[in-house]
Amino acid sequence: MKKMTCKQLGGACDVEFSANTFKEIAELSKKHGMEMFQKKDGAHLKAMEDMQNLMKSPNGMQDWFENKRKEFATMPDIE
């Protein structure tokens, strides 16, 4: 199991997510982002805007996800 923060995953806070796969951790991050969107959290809304800007580039989002997958793979396992 590995741990990453909201900030490490493109978000705006230090909430930690733990998962066995990058797909799982991405889903946890997405759920958290949706909750913050519903709460209209300004910092998270800004982070979401930044992510939307990434999507404007043909490979921007794909490259970002690949880099985060690699970062996840290098994270130490937690108990």
Q: Which is nearest to 9 in space by CA: 78, 72, 74?
A: 72
Tell me, rounded to whole angstroms, the distance of Cα 8 from its chain centroid: 6
Sequence ranges of the domains in the chain: 2-74
Put simply, whether the predicted model's pTM sits higher than 0.75 gets the answer: yes
pLDDT digits (tens, 9 = 90+) for 3-58: 999 999 999 999 999 999 999 999 999 999 999 999 999 999 999 999 899 888 88
